[in-house]
Chains A and B, each alone.
Chain A
Amino acid sequence: MPKDKWPYREKARKALRDPVFQRGLEGIQLRIGKATLERYKEVPDIETLRVEGLRTRMKAIQNLEAYLKEFAYHVEEGGGMVFFAKDADEAVDFALKVCSAHKVKTVVKGKSMVGEEIRLNRALEERGIRPIETDLGEYIIQLAGEGPSHIIGPAIHKSKEQIGRLFSDKLGVPYTSVPEELTSIARRALRERFFEADMGITGANLAIADSGHVMLVSNEGNIRFSITLPRVHLVVMGMERIVKTLEEALLILRLLSRAAAAQRLATYVSIVGPKEKIERGGAFYVIVVDNGRSKIASDSDFKEALACVRCGACLNICPVYGKIGGYAYGEVYSGPIGAIINPLLFGIDTYSDLFFGETLCGACKERCPLHIDIPRMLLELRRRYKEGDPHFQVAAKKGIEYVLLKGFEIYNRAPFLSKIGTRLSRLIVEK
């Protein structure tokens, strides 16, 4: 059953008309976007590192099955358990089984994109388990009942005044719009939850195949709390989030820190396996989620999309994301990389506006710490959409739509035509 088309234009328009959202987007692009570039320039051999980073990630995508097997072997040798989930339902189902086995009532969560992807919170709530987001941005949007609008800045669409009113409504504290005060309100509220929680759920920035560890990165310290205090640690990770060795993980970590928040190194990095939990009588589980990823990995044109380290750098430079924000992309992944991942994971026909909406200007590829060729994949998605692809259940387009798409394709591939088009549009806009 084909799903309806995602209302891209409507969502984009909504963001365009929201002045607070526009200010947030402008801020993140001007500040984090620019600072990232400065951090790259600081490293003399940065280009070598970026090439090496992509090579490392692609080697992992090439050897996914072997690496995951090795990772699982080491986790289980250490007393943990790894579950391979082929889709969101299987992943959620296993997570619920873990909860009931350990009589879990309250869960503290570190930010996890794949957790959002499989709608884990909703499933936990339906079972009467309280999932508490602990990243400040995620906590804010959870209180507001909203989704993340940016991979690393989930609440950039909110003003400090809106957050102040939200805290005052939901937490019963006196109104303030001072960021330091709002932060310390959240610190106090969440501190208690960390002590109460029976289980911590985190994603994984990377898993390390040859040692059975996961690497978790944060600036706030919420992930350290989530994995240190509760008895049980459950990791939910996309199956592509793996490298072979600790040294490879460090290389990616260095690139990730600079790209995500213009830091030499993120504040906290935890490299943990089952050992500490098991020794203290607790438990350690990992859910490895496929949910459409192995299909991407087996497609030679698109497997490069799986190399992404979710730093958000392409969002911080993209002229389209910078205006329409994260919600227009429909699923949890947004920006240029989301315009590839969402259609591939959740339907090319449903999310076709995403890859037609991007400009192919190439800024994303330029800014990506791994130089992932996003424009190439956007074009390829347009071609598959037009010509059809049984592998991704896309029917070829016929009649007038085909003719229009063909025209668009010629236009895109002929530089002189695009130039004329850009000039014409400038004339129109400037009038």
Chain B
Amino acid sequence: MVEKNLLFQTLLEQADFLGVKTYVVDGDSQLNLTLSEVIAEKGFNDKKICILNSEHYDANRLRVYLNSRNIDVFFIDNNEDYAKTLNTIKEVEIGITPADLLVAETCTLVIRNKRPFLRELSLLPPIHIAIIGEDQIIADLYKAVEILKSDIMKGDGITLITGPSKTADIELNLVKGVHGPKEVILFIVRKDFNQKI
């Protein structure tokens, strides 16, 4: 328990340092509620929002919930046509995605490249919202590699994402969102309240 708290503390500190807004929610219903509030609060209602399917949350329920709050969301299924879907993602302003792991030490999202459209939806839209289960939080990068090693040795690729896209190429001014998202928002779903994770 102590260890878990320490992990959380490190993670939240690092998220704060990177400017990654983090919400810790208890279970699916609080996730739905908080996510819809964040979207409404930020005035994102009129934005084009897209959610990716995941085994870590109920994307369909989330969509229905957001719809009921007058937030229009569309949903990408894993086996849709690549070129067609890419064209859709091109216009998306908020991408809501899962991730495979979250590294506490550096607040790094780890994703497997073989997950359909995850690389694209976490990269193209100006805002990326990642939903992570508490159980997916690990201490450091070495642990991540340990977990993913056998897949990597079979040739799979992975992507590590640490905070929003940034550059300092113009007179060393830090500017966010040069190619990738300007903003990364994290939702951590606590396990005890959610049987699905």
Contact = CB atoms under 8 A, between A and B. Distances in A.
Interface of A: 24, 27-28, 31-32, 74, 77-78, 134-137, 140, 153-156, 159-160, 163, 179-180, 182-184, 186-187, 190-191, 195, 210-213, 219-222, 224-225, 228-229, 246-247, 250, 253-254, 261, 263-276, 280
Interface residues of B, number: 43
A222 B161 CA distance: 13
B113 A264 contact: no
B171 A269 contact: no
14 contacts: A27-B172, A74-B155, A154-B169, A179-B175, A183-B177, A187-B177, A187-B178, A211-B155, A222-B179, A250-B141, A250-B142, A271-B157, A273-B157, A276-B113
Contacts of A77: 155
A78 B171 CA distance: 42
Contacts of A212: 155
Contacts, number: 148
B153 A276 contact: no
A268 B179 CA distance: 11
A247 B171 contact: no
B197 interface: no
B158 interface: yes
Nearest to A27: B172
B123 A186 contact: no
Contact of A273 (B86, B105, B155, B165): B155
B106 A264 contact: yes
A310 B160 CA distance: 20
Interface string B25-54: 000000000000000000000000000000
B160 A269 contact: yes
Nearest to A137: B169
A74 B156 CA distance: 12
A179 B173 contact: yes
A210 B155 CA distance: 10
A220 B165 contact: yes
A136 B155 contact: no
Given A78-B155, A268-B160, A268-B161, A136 B170 contact: yes
A28 B172 contact: yes
A173 B91 CA distance: 22
A179 B175 CA distance: 7
Contacts of B155: 74, 77-78, 211-212, 273-275
A134 B179 contact: yes
Interface string B1-30: 000000000000010000000000000000
Interface in B139-194: 141-142, 145, 149, 152-153, 155-173, 175, 177-181
Contacts of A268: 159-162, 165, 180
Nearest to B159: A270
A212 B108 CA distance: 23
A276 B114 contact: yes
A264 B161 contact: no
A153 B175 contact: no
Contacts of A154: 169
Contacts of B56: none
Contacts of B177: 183-184, 187
Contacts of B141: 250, 253-254, 265
A221 B182 CA distance: 11
Given A186-B178, A250-B142, A270-B159, A219 B149 contact: no
Contacts of A271: 152, 157-160
